[in-house]
Copies of this chain bind each other. A is one copy, B any other.
């Protein structure tokens, strides 16, 4: 939200020259339409033509703003990754001790996934097959990863997590929380461990095991 002046929301400071045909910002309108389609119908229901219909333009208009369907999906994935990174950072900042921050990040991750299952799948799944090619996707993903890495570093400094390559520890932490999130999002846990419970409490449990595993021996 605050931003660092990097890139990301480019072209937004410029006053949009109020819609010549329909919109001042058809790109944005298409993204919003696609996101609504994603949330309601799932990843399979997102189609360029439907997004164009919702935006009130012809079926070929989107091609002025996105090279193809995958580019639209990648833009959506980048949006989701950016929001995930924001929530992780906010959760981390809200805690006063590094280990509490690490736990909070895990909970924020799983909660965000549970609240936007389709978007979460799009962010990591194969719908946008080559999304790593898109700089916006890479940047948002790297930002989220950096929050995790920084917090693990702080935990090491505070003596709450053992030393060693932070990347190795980050892999274990990310795997645990990401795996839980995938299982929740894919509905694999109904009737099992989180039956009746919510994503947050499952995340608390999983991150507890994780913290025990990362503790200095």
User: Which A residues are closer than 8 A to B by beta carbons?
Assistant: 42-44, 118, 121, 124-127, 129, 132, 141, 167-172, 174-183, 186-189, 192-194, 202, 205-206, 209-215, 217
Contact = CB atoms under 8 A, between A and B. Distances in A.
Contacts of A171: 180, 189, 192-194, 202, 205-206
18 contacts: A42-B126, A43-B126, A44-B126, A44-B129, A118-B126, A121-B126, A124-B186, A124-B188, A125-B125, A125-B186, A171-B189, A171-B192, A171-B202, A175-B183, A176-B179, A209-B210, A212-B213, A212-B214
A179 B192 CA distance: 18
Nearest to A182: B182
A194 B172 CA distance: 12
Contacts of A175: 175-177, 179-180, 183, 206
A132 B183 contact: no
Contacts of A211: 213
Copy count, this protein chain? 2
Q: Summarize A's interface: helix, strand, loop or mixed.
A: helix
Most B-side CB within 10 Å, residue of A178, A194, A202:
A178
Contacts of A188: 124, 141
B214 A172 contact: no
Contacts of A177: 175, 179
A176 B212 CA distance: 14
A122 to B, nearest CB: 10
Most B-side CB within 10 Å, residue of A124, A177, A179, A214:
A179
A201 to B, nearest CB: 11
In the A-B complex, the 9 residue pairs with the closest CB atoms: A179-B179, A213-B213, A175-B179, A178-B179, A172-B209, A175-B180, A171-B193, A209-B213, A212-B213
A168 B180 CA distance: 12
Given A182-B124, A212-B217, A193 B205 contact: no
